[in-house]
Structure 1
Amino acid sequence: MYRSTVFILVIYCFCGVHLKQIPSYIQLCKRDQNTIDDCVRHSVEALRPRLAAGLPELDVPGIDPFYIHEIKVTAIESPLNIVGKNVKVTGVGNFTIKSLSVDLDTLNIKLRLRIPKMHLDGAYKLDTNILMGLPIHGDGNLKIDAVKCDADVMLHTEFYDQNGVEYMRFTKMDNNINIKDYTIKIDGLFNGNQALGDVANTILNQNRGEFLKVIKPTMEKTVTELVLEMSNKIVDGIAYDDLFPKP
């Protein structure tokens, strides 16, 4: 989910020329393959201090905290059902761009980034017995602290013509999320039985690699949907020549 924020920032750097008045803190990037990668990267990094409050010019909400209304995980191969609601995510504003490249022929964006620390806090409902065969059920509050959250992403683009003007839209996103380590704390398991809840939390943390492997496909799918929706909202109706000024 944290990768959606960085892509919004990348696109924002391209969209400044559409504004009636370009904010002084926006560095525009011309359509030059020799300079576009460094230019966009520097533009995004320069925007980092302003991200928490959001970018109202593009109707983009703040990223720290960042909210996810709902996320559902259902694993066909494993008896797992988990629903998270109103999840508050903090720490994404401290992202680091490890690499970034823009192909001006296809307008595809390739990005590698890291968030050093991330905290998630929200409501959940859980039904599973994937860990050592122990049935775990409950609903309540969920807290996750993750470190070294890495993502490799490719955002795919297509061009289309409307009334003789060329526009662009984002059609697909490939992403691979890797989390070095995390701890999880779930309240409300076994109808609030503290002893059983502590045992279940211990098992969840001891088997967090297995748990992460099961929920990873849903995490990546959720991030993809968020990024495509927000990115297309930003570029909708803006001509390609305005998004990428010629040198």
Structure 2
Amino acid sequence: MLSPASYIEICSRNDPNIENCIINSIEKVRPKLLTGIMLCPCPAGIMLCPCPAGIPELDVPPIEPLLLKEVVVSRGANAATFRAVGSNVKVYGPAQFQITGLKVDLKNMVFYINLKLPELYFDGDYDVNARILILPLRGKGPIKANATDCSADVVLRGQVYKKKGEDYLRFQSIEIDLKIGKFHVHLDNLFGGDKVLGEATNAALNENRSEFIETLRPIAERTVGEVILEIANKITNNFSLKELFRDS
């Protein structure tokens, strides 16, 4: 029998400081979203070794690093202006999020969250055939990028439904306004490995990063939203509403 107290803080719906309780609950979950060196079953037995964390019994995957198997970015008619595909992209830093604001409307099951993401690092592969401003982009190879001073305003909307005679919470939609501070990207092997042209293009990309950021922002918002919805719903799917928010 799963107990919510093993994973989160149990908050009272009548608590005047319920926002603080929910933040403490999220902080309790945070370490379980990491991967790394920890005590876990290895071929030689229980010992310190690399192993996935997450919350397997709730089917919640780790998000540090966050693995994106495929990310498709397209813009323009028939994707003629910009089309890029990222594959096996690892994102380091999402679990270091900071909650800078939280407002809860339990009556309507709406959660308003302000997040800060101090630093994100991306490492993966890309395949691009696109144009940004007057820059042609053609190539296929490794990509590395980092973003700092990012923030997000999130609106998470849920609905109560019945399961086994009990009330449960399901989050149905999420709205995210993502702001990216500083950003730097480097694409290896542009133009078939032409180093001079590749370095010049990378330099121009970073000098005109605002256009690049605006191109990537919708997919970044959608990806962050999908991750938050997945984790939130896998937790709430396992516990009734009265287990998550007691009446007293």
TM-score range, shorter chain: 0.7 to 0.9
1:66-119, Cα deviation, whole Å (9 max, x unpaired): 111111111126710011111101122322110112211012111111111110
Partner of 1:234: 235
Helix, strand or coil: the match of 1:183? strand
| Contact 1:33–1:103 under 8 Å retained in 2 | no
Q: Which residue of 2 aligns with 1:89?
A: 91
RMSD (Å) for aligned C-alpha atoms: 2.1
Deviation of residue 191 (structure 1)?
Answer: 0.5
Counterpart in 2 of 1:209?
A: 210
Letter in 2 for 1:238: F
Q: Which runs of 5+ in 1 are unaligned?
A: 1-17
Contact 2:10 2:243 in 1 (8 A): no
1 CA distance for matches of 2:31 and 2:232? 21
- Structure 1 equivalent of residue 180 of structure 2: 179
Query: How much has 1:43 moved relative to structure 2?
Result: 2.6
Q: Percent identity?
A: 38
Specify the code of the residue in structure 2 equivalent to 1:28: I
1:51 aligns with 2:33: yes
2:2 aligned residue (19, 32, 53)? 19
Q: How many residues align?
A: 228
Counterpart residue identity of residue 19, structure 1: L
Alignment partners' CA distance in 2, 1:51 and 1:220? 20
Alpha-carbon distance between aligned partners in 1 of 2:57 and 2:71, rounded to the nearest angstrom: 28
Superposed CA deviations along residues 12-33 of structure 1, whole A, max 9, x for unmatched, are: xxxxxx724843x743212225
Aligned to 1:38: 20
SS in 2 for 1:173: strand
8 Å Cα contact 1:33-1:104 kept in structure 2: no
SS for the counterpart of 1:217 is helix
Q: When the two structures are superposed, what TM-score results if normalisation uses the length of structure 1?
A: 0.84
Task: Please list every run of 5 or more consecutive structure 2 residues that lacks an aligned counterpart in the other structure.
Answer: 35-52
Compute the displacement of 1:240 (Å): 1.8
Structure 1's 126 and 167: CA in aligned 2 closer, same or farther, altered over 3 A? same
Match of 2:115 among 113, 116, 135: 113
The code of the aligned residue for 1:240 comes to: L
Which residue is 1:168 aligned to? 169
Q: Which moved more, 1:142-151 or 1:217-226?
A: 217-226
Structure showing greater relative contact order (alpha-carbon pairs closer than 8 Å, 6 or more residues apart): 1
